[in-house]
Structure 1
Amino acid sequence: MNTDPLALERGAAWPAGEVFNPDGRAPLVLVCEHASNRIPPGYADLGCDAHDLSRHIAVDLGAGELARGLALHLDAPAVLCSTSRLFVDCNRAPFESDWIAPVSDGSAIAGNADLSATQRHARAQLVFEPFHALVGETVAAKRRGDGDPLIVAVHSYAPFLDGLARPPVAVIWDQPTPATQVVAALRREVEPVGDNTPYDGRLARGYTFDRHARPFGLRRFAIEVRQDLLGEAGGVATWTRIVGEAIAAAMQARQ
């Protein structure tokens, strides 16, 4: 299953990511690293069936739609990855075991088994580096025009972890400001709200923040919304409003 990386269609440029609402004026950049379940041509879907490609192992269900909704609601650019996290995870560092995971949540990913250094490098060049170039360019443009932007990563998660129900929404952070203001704003509408749970952002540091936020001292946090709630009728619109108003309140408190 270790398809030759040059099997990608000759002459076709694979879109590693997109910048949605690029002219958004708010001092904010939204990032969605797990917005898509697409696999580049020539890789035989990594040996995955349609079921696995529809699961959270391949995509944060509803997160891309939420990121686009927030971009319009808050008038901000959103950078979305156009490739499945199974091909290469743009929120993991290349030295991490799940950067290109051979097994994910019990499913063997045949096309990720026993990759050579050349094959791993090819994926980095095809998706990982171009995507992060888009993020870097978007953040740099904001810094030139509006001062230091807030960076918000948009994710979704499964309703249960190890048999325990997860909260409808969570804020994951490694610095309390403005995350605590966002948690407080969310709690005015929703309970419970995860405050650095089920993940602790001080321990599980995302690569995007390590590369684009921390080196420049930019404020940052991640939002997680339960994928089943985003999948309900009107769910994306509802959570766009709830999360968007919480982020807006925190941004206004800063001003």
Structure 2
Amino acid sequence: MSEAAERIDGAAGGALLLCDHASNHVPVDVDLGIDPALLNLHIAYDIGAGALTRTLAASTGWPAVLGTVSRLVIDLHREPDRLGLIPMASDGHDVPGNRDANAAQRIARFHRPYHCAVASAVRLYRPDLIVAIHSFTPRLETAPVDRPWTIGVLYNRDRWTGEAALAALTAQGLSPGDNQPYSGRDLNTTINRHAEAAGIAGIAIEVRNDQLLTPAGIDAWASHLSEMIATLRNRVASRGHLTT
């Protein structure tokens, strides 16, 4: 694999797990010009999402692809021409080292290889369902409004799969956010590219990161998600080709 992606191979079929923001790693030759302590904040990666994805993959046998570079270096979950791909600031924190960054070089080094790794996994495993795992903050520093959801389901044109996921989580006694804490119609890059564009059912899952700070919390959410994904994958497989 490339320095931007890690693949976890799996024996179980049907589902493929993705985690764009699994890592806060910054290569030694990339100078962001920030206090290293900022790499422990959510602006650098999706806190707990990588551990949750690994736990899910280990417990279910589903394959996974994880991003291995901080989103402060380049955001793997944005189109190459989208504002914020290489952030000059994030949630009120300046990233001065990115002002003179060579975008084409970072795309070639990190963004393109990551998405090639995802595409390769899709070709290899031919999943019925692709699930991207993310986490979100209880509130933003620049907009300190509480986000009450513990989990959200994000989707774009594939409303059927999104609503089926919401129903499966609700059946577990949860209260999932419907395209919350933000809408998959506005930002759904990885699922748009690797699922919807290929006619494969796909959703993004957002778990509030204060739920993922302990091994017990990660195990609990892995249990919720493994049940939901198995139910959803069976429904998707029986439905056949995706129509949006």
TM over 0.5: yes
User: Given the alignment of the two structures, is residue 217 of structure 1 paired with residue 196 of structure 2, yes or no?
Assistant: no
Cα distance change of structure 1 residues 17 and 184 upon mapping to structure 2, 3 Å threshold: same
Question: How big is the shift at 1:160?
Answer: 2.1
Structure with greater Cα Rg: 1
Question: How big is the shift at 1:16?
Answer: 1.2
For 1:166 and 1:24, the matched residues in 2 are separated by 36
Q: Which residue of 2 aligns with 1:9?
A: none
Q: Which residue of 2 aligns with 1:158?
A: 137
2:178 to 179, 195, 200: 195
Q: Which residue of 2 aligns with 1:3?
A: none
Question: How big is the shift at 1:59?
Answer: 0.5
2:128 to 146, 149, 158: 149
TM norm structure 1: 0.86
Aligned-pair identity (%)? 36
For 1:108 and 1:194, the matched residues in 2 are separated by 30
Cα distance change of structure 1 residues 182 and 14 upon mapping to structure 2, 3 Å threshold: closer
Cα distance change of structure 1 residues 113 and 95 upon mapping to structure 2, 3 Å threshold: same
1:131 to 71, 91, 114: 114
- Does the residue aligned with 1:26 lie in a helix, a strand or coil? coil
For 2:115 and 2:11, the matched residues in 1 are separated by 19
* 1:153-199 deviation line (CA, Å, top 9, x unaligned): 10000012531233001111122222222212212334431011221
User: Given the alignment of the two structures, is residue 48 of structure 1 paired with residue 30 of structure 2, yes or no?
Assistant: no
User: Which deviates more from structure 2 when the two are superposed, residues 76-85 or residues 180-189?
Assistant: 180-189
Q: Which residue of 2 aligns with 1:242?
A: 224
1:140 to 123, 138, 142: 123
RMSD across aligned positions (CA): 1.7
Letter of the 1:219 partner, please give it: A
Residue pairs, 1:168-179, within 5 angstroms = 168-174=150-156, 175-179=158-162
- Does the residue aligned with 1:94 lie in a helix, a strand or coil? coil
Question: How big is the shift at 1:233?
Answer: 4.7
User: Which deviates more from structure 2 when the two are superposed, residues 32-41 or residues 225-234?
Assistant: 225-234
2:4 to 3, 8, 16: 16
Letter of the 2:165 partner, please give it: V
User: Which deviates more from structure 2 when the two are superposed, residues 120-129 or residues 130-139?
Assistant: 120-129
For 2:13 and 2:69, the matched residues in 1 are separated by 27
Letter of the 1:132 partner, please give it: H
User: Which deviates more from structure 2 when the two are superposed, residues 87-96 or residues 71-80?
Assistant: 71-80
Question: How big is the shift at 1:43?
Answer: 1.7
For 2:214 and 2:6, the matched residues in 1 are separated by 26
For 2:5 and 2:99, the matched residues in 1 are separated by 25
Q: Which residue of 1 aligns with 2:242?
A: none
Alignment: residue pair count: 233
* 1:88-128 deviation line (CA, Å, top 9, x unaligned): 1111011111100101111100111133xxx2111112111
For 1:76 and 1:53, the matched residues in 2 are separated by 29
Contact 1:172–1:197 (Cα < 8 Å) also in 2: yes
Letter of the 1:87 partner, please give it: V
Letter of the 1:139 partner, please give it: V
- Does the residue aligned with 1:220 lie in a helix, a strand or coil? strand
User: Which deviates more from structure 2 when the two are superposed, residues 97-106 or residues 206-215?
Assistant: 206-215
For 1:98 and 1:24, the matched residues in 2 are separated by 36
1:83 to 69, 77, 88: 69
- Does the residue aligned with 2:18 lie in a helix, a strand or coil? strand
- Does the residue aligned with 1:47 lie in a helix, a strand or coil? coil
User: Given the alignment of the two structures, is residue 186 of structure 1 paired with residue 177 of structure 2, yes or no?
Assistant: no
Letter of the 1:100 partner, please give it: I
Contact 1:26–1:74 (Cα < 8 Å) also in 2: no
